[in-house]
Chains A and B, each alone.
Chain A
C-alpha cells in the first residue's frame, strides 16, 4: 500500500485532536453583566467575593504569616487568594515591568524605599486608610507617604542598633571612644565589628554620619526628604576624616563583609556589632543586649529605619477585594504579630508592637527606632548609594584622601541627580 498524504493527514488529525481534547478549557471572563434590578437586598456582614482571585506576591519569610491571613479571608469572603513566592531581590524590577502589561499581581510586599521609584513608574495606587491610619506607628506611616498620599499598608519596621555581648562588655557605651575602650578591654580579636565590604555599606555607617551632623538629604517637617544634599560641607568632611582615622587604626576594615562580621561575633570574637534583627538568629547562644549606637561626632546617632509593607498595583482589576484584604485582614493585630514572629521585625501596628515589646531584644530595637529616620525613597537614591558606598570604602582603605574624596562624591551625586 502506498503511503498517501491523505491517510497520513487523517491519522495525524485524529491523534492531534485526541491530544488536545484535554486541552485548556476556555477561561470564563469575569461577569460584567449590567446590574439587574432587585428588591431591597440585605447586606451580609462580610462581602461575598466568590469567583474573585487575588494574586499576592510574597517572599519566603512572609509566606506563612500571609497564608494565615489569606485563609481567614478566603473563609469569610469566598474569594480565592493566590500567594506567589518570589525572591525579594527580584520583586521590585518584576513588579515594575509586569504591572503595565495588565497581568501583574494585585498586591505585593515591598520596602518603603522603593516608593519613589514605583510612583515614578506609575505602578502603585494610593490607598486610603481612613481611621486605621492612626493605629500605625508614625514613622511607618510617614515612610509610606509621598506628597501627602499613603501608598501602602506597613507591617514591619526594621533598623540597626548596637548588639552587645553582655558577657564581654558589661555596660552600654555612650560614645565611640567608650565603645573602643570597652572593646579593647575585652581582649578579643576585634574591639568593634561593623560590616564594610569592598564597596562600602553606607546604610550601616549612617548613624555615625548623623552623629557628625551630616544627614544625607535635608528633612522637611512632615518627615519627607527634599532633594537637597546635606552631607557635604564641613560636617561631612569631619566624618570622612573620622573614617580615614578609623581605617588607619584598623577598627574599620574593607575586608570585613557581612558574613565575616556575623560569623566573628557569633564565635565571640568581639563584644560589639552594629546590626539588625535579621542577625539575631545566628546569635542564639549568646547573651545579648540591644543598645543605642554610640555617637562618634557628638550629636545623637540616628540610624535609618526601613519599613516594609504591602503595595496595591495601579492596574489591579480587584481593587475593592485587595483593599478589603489589606485594611481588614493585614492591618489586624493577629496578622501583624504573626509576621513579627516570622521575621523578628517590630510590627508597624501599635497594638501588635506593644505585644511584641514583651521580648527584650525587640523592645531594644524599637527604642532605637524611636530616634531613627526613614530611609529616603526618592528615585535618585539608587545612584546615591553606589557613589556613597564606594567612596566610604575607598576612604577607609586609604585609596582616597578623606576631604577630596568626599567632595568628589558630592559633585558626582549632584551631577547624577540633576540629569
Chain B
C-alpha cells in the first residue's frame, strides 16, 4: 500500500500512457477542447433558437464524451468506439426513429399542416372580396394597443377597430388620400406597421353593424378592400361551415373536413394512422401483384451482382497475384479506373451508350443493329447487371487481392506436398480462407446493391414499364425505386411521405435480417477452420 509510486518523469517526452503530462495527453486535451467548444456552441445556438430537444441531446452527448475521455473506470473500450457511437446515434438511430414516427402518420399532399394551420389556411383561401366593392384608401391607426383602420369612402373618412364597426369621423384631416389626424386615434408610422405586420394583416374591421356586409382588410397597409368570409370555423364543435352553400364540414379523424355527402375540403392536416401505411403495399390491389415481382427481382439483382462482381474480381486478383506476370502495376491501375468514376456519372453515360437507335454500342460496335438494350424487359435486366459488373468488380478485385496477399504461404506448400492439384488446393484451402476475410464485405455489398437506387434510376428509371398493370412500376425496379415512385416523392403522384417511410422501414427490416443471418453464417465458417 503506498509502495508503488508513479514512475519519475525522465526527460521531456514520456511514454504515451504515463501518468504525467506527455505529448499524447496534450493532443487529447486539444482535441477534447475543440469538441467541447463545438458542443458549447451548439448548446448556445439551440438555447437562442429555443430548440430544447437539440439542447438536451447535446448536453447529454457532451457530458458522456467528457466522462469517457477523462476517466478510466469502465471506459477504456468506450474511448475507441465513442465517436462511432455518436455518429451512429445521430445519423442512423435518430433517423430510423423519425422515419418510424412519420410512417405512423399520413403526412403528405393534402395533410401537410397541423390542425390550426389547416383551419387558418381554409379560412384565408375562402375569404372573398365582395364583388363590386371599391378599393378604399386606407390608413392604419391605433387606439391604446389595438390597431384600427381609417378609410376614405366617397370622400368621407370612416374609422373602426376589430370590435367597433366603421363609423364616420367628420373631424378627421386628410392629406390627399391619407388621414393625417383623427380624434381618439393615433396614426401608425410605417415602422410601427412593419413591426406588427401579422396583427395588421389579420385585422378585420366590420364594415357596419350588419355582419353579413363583410369587413375591411388590407394586405399592404395603404389600400383596404371589403372581404367576406365564406367559411366559418366553430372551434367548440370542430366544424367548418360553408355559409354560401350551407354545408357543414366536420373534422374527421383522418385529418380532413368532410361534408355529410362525403366530399372533403382539399386542405387537411397530419394525423396518426397507425400501421395502415404498412398494410397498404400488400392490400392495395394496384401494387400487391407487381410488389412480389419487384421483390424477387431485387433479391436476384443483389445476389447476382455480388456473385458476378466477386467472381470477376477474384479471378483477376488471382491472375495478377502471379509474380511471373509482367506489367502488373499497369494492369492494376487500369482495372481500378471504373471505380474512380462516380457511379451516377457512369450510369448516365452507359444509358447513352446503350440507346437503341443512337447508342455507341449499337451503332458502332454492333454495326447498326437495333438491339433494345434498355427497352426489352429481359435485356434491360441483363444490361443493369452488366453495368453493375463494370462498376463493381474493381472493389472486389481490391479486397480479393488483399485477402490473397494475406494468406500464409506455408499452407499452400503443405497442400502441394500432400499432392493436391491446384484446383483442389483452391477449393479446400485457399478458397475458404479468402472467404473468411471477404465474407463481411460480400454481405455489405449485398446490402448496398439491394438498395442501389442511383444505378437503376440513372440507367433505366425503373425500366420498361409493366404493360399489364397500371402502377408506374417497371421491369428493373428495385424495392427502393418502387417506394420512390409509389409514394409520389418523384413527383409523378400525390406525395405520401407516410407510405414512403413505411416502405423504407420494411426494406430496412428485410436487409437487417438478411445481414444478421449472413454474419452468423460467416462466424460458422471460422469455427470450421
* Chain A interface (Cβ < 8 Å from any Cβ of B): 1-3, 5, 8, 11-12, 15-17, 19-20, 23-24, 26-27, 30-35, 37-38, 40-44, 47-52, 92-93, 96-97, 100, 117, 119-123, 125-128, 130-131, 147-149, 198-199, 253, 255, 260, 314-315, 317-321, 323-324, 327, 379-380, 382-383, 385-387, 390, 394, 399-400, 408, 412, 415-416
6 sample A-B contacts, Cβ–Cβ < 8 Å, listed by A number: A3-B20, A32-B195, A35-B145, A120-B266, A121-B110, A147-B125
Whether the pair B492, A131 counts as a contact (CB closer than 8 A) is no
Q: Which residues of chain B are within 8 angstroms of A3 by Cβ–Cβ distance?
A: 19-21, 25
Interface residues of B in 319-357 (CB under 8 A from A): 355-357
CB distance from B185 to the nearest CB of A (A): 9
Whether the pair B124, A321 counts as a contact (CB closer than 8 A) is no
With beta carbons under 8 angstroms apart, the residue of A92, A128, A415 that contacts B219 is A128
Whether the pair A260, B358 counts as a contact (CB closer than 8 A) is yes
Whether the pair B197, A199 counts as a contact (CB closer than 8 A) is no
Whether the pair A320, B201 counts as a contact (CB closer than 8 A) is yes
Q: Which residues of chain A are within 8 angstroms of B200 by Cβ–Cβ distance?
A: 320
Whether the pair B129, A128 counts as a contact (CB closer than 8 A) is yes
With beta carbons under 8 angstroms apart, the residue of B29, B33, B267, B467 that contacts A399 is B467
Interface string of B444-467 (1 = CB under 8 A from A): 000000000000000001000101
For the complex of A and B, list the 3 residue pairs with the smallest distance between their C-beta atoms, beginning with the closest. Answer: A122-B121, A19-B37, A15-B33
How long is the Cα–Cα vector from A15 to B357 in the complex, in angstroms? 66
Whether the pair B117, A35 counts as a contact (CB closer than 8 A) is no
Whether the pair A40, B21 counts as a contact (CB closer than 8 A) is no
**Of B20, B175, B196, which is in contact with the most chain A CB atoms at under 10 Å from its CB?**
B196
- Say yes or no for B470: interface residue by CB 8 A criterion: yes
Q: Which residues of chain B are within 8 angstroms of A17 by Cβ–Cβ distance?
A: 40
Interface residues of B in 1-34 (CB under 8 A from A): 6, 19-21, 25, 29-30, 32-34
**Of B21, B112, B221, B375, which is in contact with the most chain A CB atoms at under 10 Å from its CB?**
B112
Whether the pair B192, A315 counts as a contact (CB closer than 8 A) is no
Whether the pair B194, A48 counts as a contact (CB closer than 8 A) is yes
Whether the pair B190, A48 counts as a contact (CB closer than 8 A) is yes
A382 and B488 in contact, given A48-B191, A52-B194, A320-B221 (Cβ under 8 angstroms): yes
Q: Which residues of chain B are within 8 angstroms of A385 by Cβ–Cβ distance?
A: 492
- Say yes or no for B44: interface residue by CB 8 A criterion: yes
Q: Which residues of chain A are within 8 angstroms of B192 by Cβ–Cβ distance?
A: 35
**Of B70, B114, B219, B266, which is in contact with the most chain A CB atoms at under 10 Å from its CB?**
B219
Q: Which residues of chain B are within 8 angstroms of A52 by Cβ–Cβ distance?
A: 194
How long is the Cα–Cα vector from A200 to B388 in the complex, in angstroms? 27
**Of A16, A40, A127, A380, which is in contact with the most chain B CB atoms at under 10 Å from its CB?**
A16
A255 and B358 in contact, given A379-B494, A383-B493, A385-B492 (Cβ under 8 angstroms): yes
CB distance from B2 to the nearest CB of A (A): 15
A44 and B219 in contact, given A2-B20, A119-B267, A386-B493 (Cβ under 8 angstroms): no
A40 and B187 in contact, given A379-B266, A390-B472 (Cβ under 8 angstroms): yes
CB distance from B48 to the nearest CB of A (A): 6
For A48, the closest partner residue in chain B by CB is B190
How long is the Cα–Cα vector from A48 to B220 in the complex, in angstroms? 13
Whether the pair B40, A16 counts as a contact (CB closer than 8 A) is yes
Whether the pair A34, B135 counts as a contact (CB closer than 8 A) is no
A1 and B495 in contact, given A23-B44, A40-B180 (Cβ under 8 angstroms): no
How long is the Cα–Cα vector from A315 to B113 in the complex, in angstroms? 11
How long is the Cα–Cα vector from A51 to B197 in the complex, in angstroms? 13
How long is the Cα–Cα vector from A147 to B219 in the complex, in angstroms? 19
A130 and B181 in contact, given A16-B36, A100-B114 (Cβ under 8 angstroms): no
Q: Which residues of chain A are within 8 angstroms of B40 by Cβ–Cβ distance?
A: 16-17, 19-20, 23
Q: Which residues of chain B are within 8 angstroms of A40 by Cβ–Cβ distance?
A: 173, 180-181, 187
Q: Which residues of chain B are within 8 angstroms of A148 by Cβ–Cβ distance?
A: 128
For B471, the closest partner residue in chain A by CB is A412
A320 and B181 in contact, given A1-B20, A20-B44, A130-B223 (Cβ under 8 angstroms): no
For A121, the closest partner residue in chain B by CB is B112
For B45, the closest partner residue in chain A by CB is A24
- Say yes or no for B154: interface residue by CB 8 A criterion: no
How long is the Cα–Cα vector from A160 to B358 in the complex, in angstroms? 26
- Say yes or no for B491: interface residue by CB 8 A criterion: yes
- Name B's interface SS: mixed
Whether the pair A1, B109 counts as a contact (CB closer than 8 A) is no
How long is the Cα–Cα vector from A127 to B41 in the complex, in angstroms? 41
CB distance from A86 to the nearest CB of B (A): 15
Whether the pair A119, B19 counts as a contact (CB closer than 8 A) is no
Q: Which residues of chain B are within 8 angstroms of A126 by Cβ–Cβ distance?
A: 124-125, 127
Whether the pair A47, B190 counts as a contact (CB closer than 8 A) is yes
For A19, the closest partner residue in chain B by CB is B37
- Say yes or no for B188: interface residue by CB 8 A criterion: yes
Whether the pair B124, A314 counts as a contact (CB closer than 8 A) is yes
**Of A15, A52, A96, A394, which is in contact with the most chain B CB atoms at under 10 Å from its CB?**
A15
Q: Which residues of chain B are within 8 angstroms of A30 by Cβ–Cβ distance?
A: 195
Whether the pair A41, B219 counts as a contact (CB closer than 8 A) is no
A321 and B197 in contact, given A47-B221, A100-B117, A386-B492 (Cβ under 8 angstroms): yes
Whether the pair B135, A130 counts as a contact (CB closer than 8 A) is yes
A131 and B357 in contact, given A50-B191, A148-B128 (Cβ under 8 angstroms): no
Q: Which residues of chain B are within 8 angstroms of A44 by Cβ–Cβ distance?
A: 190
Extra contacts besides A16-B37, A48-B189, A120-B112 (20): CB < 8 Å: A2-B6, A3-B25, A11-B33, A24-B41, A24-B45, A35-B192, A38-B186, A47-B221, A48-B190, A48-B194, A49-B190, A92-B491, A120-B267, A128-B219, A147-B126, A148-B128, A314-B117, A323-B220, A379-B110, A386-B493
CB distance from B25 to the nearest CB of A (A): 6
How long is the Cα–Cα vector from A323 to B189 in the complex, in angstroms? 18
- Say yes or no for B118: interface residue by CB 8 A criterion: yes
How long is the Cα–Cα vector from A320 to B48 in the complex, in angstroms? 27
How long is the Cα–Cα vector from A49 to B193 in the complex, in angstroms? 9
With beta carbons under 8 angstroms apart, the residue of A120, A315, A387 that contacts B110 is A120
For A13, the closest partner residue in chain B by CB is B36
Q: Which residues of chain A are within 8 angstroms of B36 by Cβ–Cβ distance?
A: 12, 15-16
Q: Which residues of chain A are within 8 angstroms of B267 by Cβ–Cβ distance?
A: 119-122
- Say yes or no for B429: interface residue by CB 8 A criterion: no
- Say yes or no for B178: interface residue by CB 8 A criterion: yes
Q: Which residues of chain B are within 8 angstroms of A380 by Cβ–Cβ distance?
A: 494
With beta carbons under 8 angstroms apart, the residue of B70, B122, B189, B495 that contacts A5 is B70
Whether the pair A32, B196 counts as a contact (CB closer than 8 A) is yes
Q: Which residues of chain B are within 8 angstroms of A130 by Cβ–Cβ distance?
A: 135, 223, 225
Interface string of B111-139 (1 = CB under 8 A from A): 01110011011101111110000010001
Whether the pair A320, B220 counts as a contact (CB closer than 8 A) is yes
Whether the pair B125, A31 counts as a contact (CB closer than 8 A) is no
Whether the pair B121, A43 counts as a contact (CB closer than 8 A) is no
CB distance from B151 to the nearest CB of A (A): 14
Q: Which residues of chain A are within 8 angstroms of B188 by Cβ–Cβ distance?
A: 35
How long is the Cα–Cα vector from A120 to B122 in the complex, in angstroms? 9
Q: Which residues of chain A are within 8 angstroms of B195 by Cβ–Cβ distance?
A: 30-33, 51
- Say yes or no for B171: interface residue by CB 8 A criterion: no
Whether the pair B44, A24 counts as a contact (CB closer than 8 A) is yes
With beta carbons under 8 angstroms apart, the residue of B30, B44, B194 that contacts A320 is B194
A96 and B112 in contact, given A41-B189, A52-B194, A383-B492 (Cβ under 8 angstroms): yes
- Say yes or no for B198: interface residue by CB 8 A criterion: yes
Q: Which residues of chain A are within 8 angstroms of B493 by Cβ–Cβ distance?
A: 382-383, 386, 416
